[in-house]
């Protein structure tokens, strides 16, 4: 009797089966509790990138170097994925709330007699089975925030920056070039730098003048960031990255290989966006804390 051959079902696309997130297997260790010093020294890699410096007119006037940390290819996707999920999830307010049948107003009177009506038994008009009733297993206020290590978050940002060096350009300081707000002049400058206004472009500058901010705010595909507003989402969501020489020096000084994170350095990129940036009100407990009232 011939054995029947069973064809396996087609694989479904998921986080673990997708080729985008596949991670090559590492060599097995002889002892489960031992750690090879060879892998420890290769935990973080770095690759120096050369960036051309363009003038305001679009001419090349020099070169600069971007030398920052970068995770290994085997762990880069996992580090960046964890950091972006953490940033997106920590922005959730968690204020969605529904009423259960015990919280809905009314329903104290029995709608109709228990027997001799031919209908189903009803004890309340606020039952979840009837319109206007409570909600079964509905959302309640909760805290969605999750924690990520400071070094892991910085490594994710530096890894994303190092992976975008091919689409990165450095331009000289142009704050003083705009004597008055003019979007038309800003678009012309972008074209001289080889940038398409229709593409998603991220500018990283140490300081944004009022005229530059007003000239660029009407361009919907442009993000004008400073070191305080630098975040992982805008880096990954951009097609082109434009830096100034001072911004390159800042990145080398903050995400360089020899940079150590001190305990007093609590300021993180994009943290200010977590409070009051989504148009909502500040929680009452937080307002009381600001006023010095202990609740």
Q: What is the pLDDT of residues 20-76, one digit of tens each?
A: 334 444 333 334 444 444 434 444 556 688 898 999 999 999 899 998 888 988 899
168-171 and 240-243: which strand pairing? parallel
Q: At what angle do helices 73-90 and 150-163 cross, to 10 degrees?
A: 110
Global pTM reads 0.69
**Mean local confidence (pLDDT), 277-287:** 44
Judge whether residue 237 has pLDDT over 80. Answer: yes
- For 246, counting Cβ atoms within 10 Å of its Cβ (0-12 exposed, 13-18 middle, 19+ buried), the class is middle
- Chain mean position to CA 16: 21
**Rounded Cα–Cα distance for residues 83 and 109 (Å):** 53
Predicted confidence (pLDDT) per residue in 170-186, tens digit: 999 999 899 999 999 99
**pLDDT tens for each residue of 248-277:** 999 999 988 777 766 556 555 555 444 444
How is residue 120 annotated by DSSP?
-
Task: Delimit the domains of the chain by residue range.
Answer: 49-93+145-255
Q: Tell me the residue ranges of DSSP E strands in 227-290.
A: 240-243
- As a whole number, mean pLDDT of residues 14-23 equals 36
What is the band of 107 on the pLDDT scale with cuts at 50, 70, 90? confident
Distances in whole angstroms, Cα of residue 12 to Cα of each of 8, 22, 201: 12, 14, 35
The CATH code for residues 49-93+145-255 is 3.40.1370.10
């Amino acid at each position: 009797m011939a054995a029947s051959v069973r064809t396996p079902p087609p694989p479904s696309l998921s986080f673990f089966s997708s080729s985008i997130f596949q991670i090559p297997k590492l060599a097995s260790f002889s002892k489960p509790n031992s750690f090879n010093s060879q892998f420890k020294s290769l935990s973080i890699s770095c690759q120096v990138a050369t960036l051309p410096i363009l003038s305001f007119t679009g001419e090349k006037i020099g070169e600069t170097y971007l030398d920052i940390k970068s995770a290994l290819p085997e762990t880069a996707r996992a580090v960046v994925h964890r950091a972006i999920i953490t940033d997106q999830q920590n922005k959730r307010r968690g204020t969605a709330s529904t009423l259960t049948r015990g919280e809905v107003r009314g329903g104290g009177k029995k709608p109709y007699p228990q027997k001799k009506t031919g209908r189903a038994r009803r004890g309340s008009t606020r039952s979840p089975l009837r319109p206007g009733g409570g909600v079964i297993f509905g959302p309640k206020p909760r805290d969605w925030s999750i924690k990520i290590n400071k070094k892991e978050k910085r490594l994710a940002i530096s890894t994303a920056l190092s992976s975008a060096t091919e689409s990165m350009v450095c331009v000289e300081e142009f704050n003083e070039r705009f004597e008055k707000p003019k979007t038309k002049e800003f678009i012309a400058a972008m074209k001289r730098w080889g940038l398409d206004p229709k593409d998603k472009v991220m500018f990283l500058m140490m300081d944004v003048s009022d005229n530059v901010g007003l000239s660029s705010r009407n361009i919907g595909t442009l993000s004008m960031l400073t070191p305080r507003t630098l975040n992982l989402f805008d880096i990954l969501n951009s097609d082109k990255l434009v830096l100034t020489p001072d911004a390159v020096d800042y990145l080398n000084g903050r995400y360089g290989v020899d940079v150590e994170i001190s305990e007093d350095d609590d300021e993180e990129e994009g943290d200010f966006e977590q409070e009051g940036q989504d148009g909502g009100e500040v929680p009452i407990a937080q307002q009381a804390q600001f006023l010095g009232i202990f609740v």
